Structure 1
């Protein structure tokens, strides 16, 4: 991680929430795959709900917010987020075969959450990629 990233992470409070491991509930992963398939050719987006226990980020659910979707992007009305939602990041689909974050994705990641998922075609376990708030790839375990 670059020094400037660490600096801004500290200012924004992201450094206080560093985790050593990410675990995603299997049902959440299955739901992400199903929704991505059904949404195609449009993107879908949701908030990842979870908690941090013993330095492990546990993703346990999805929060769906009002918004709009197209073949080029998805927008969530973040101001509609419930106050006590335990949001830990985001998930969205790409209608193509690349799960690399766009510039808009990276800007969103930097503003919101610790952990972000992008799923691309063919919408299966192998097409899921995860990133931290700086857009760096992250590992995760399905439990």
Structure 2
């Protein structure tokens, strides 16, 4: 388990439905494949989207099953969205964006966004495949997310 992941799961569980424990986070394979396609389509600019969980937390598993899109501004170095323009919903649980340069390490700006919005974040690096995708908690610590069918 990555550094800080155990504390992340506890905090996330308390925040969602008052549950005490998240044992695992999963993402639908189709959602991850769609995100990689979106990142390739946006290249050489960054892509930005939001993770959503319609099922919430069940049996200790938080499942990312939808991607929410919102208009954003992007260039080769960054992507920006007005968070105040997002729909008022509790299903959005984090962000995902691409890094055209290939790195999946969060920048200081990424870490700032992570700390302000959501619980689960991902960076997809070029060549935009599931193997070039890294997941982070709101503190910028790398976490494990399982891809499921």
CA separation of 1:85 and 1:15: change in aligned 2, threshold 3 A: closer
Q: Secondary structure of the residue that 2:134 maps to in structure 1?
A: strand
CA contact (8 A) 2:12 2:22 kept: no
- Give the 3-state SS of the residue equivalent to 1:100 in structure 2: coil
| Structure 2, gaps ≥5 residues long | 16-20
Q: Distance in 2 between matches of 1:118 and 1:22?
A: 16
Aligned to 2:115: 110
Q: Trace 1:1-143 onto structure 2 (pairs within 5 A).
A: 16-17=14-15, 19-50=22-53, 51-143=56-148
TM-superposition CA deviations, 1:27-71 (whole Å, max 9, x none): 100101100101000001011001222221110111111220110
Q: Which has the higher contact order (CA 8 A, sep 6+)?
A: 2
Structure 1: runs of 5 or more not aligned? none
> What whole-Å deviation, never above 9, does each CA across 1:82-126 have from its counterpart, x for those lacking one?
112511101000001210000000011011111000000111121
Question: Alignment length, in residue pairs?
Answer: 135
Which TM-score applies when normalising by structure 1? 0.87
RMSD after superposition:
1.9
**8 Å Cα contact 1:65-1:77 kept in structure 2:** no
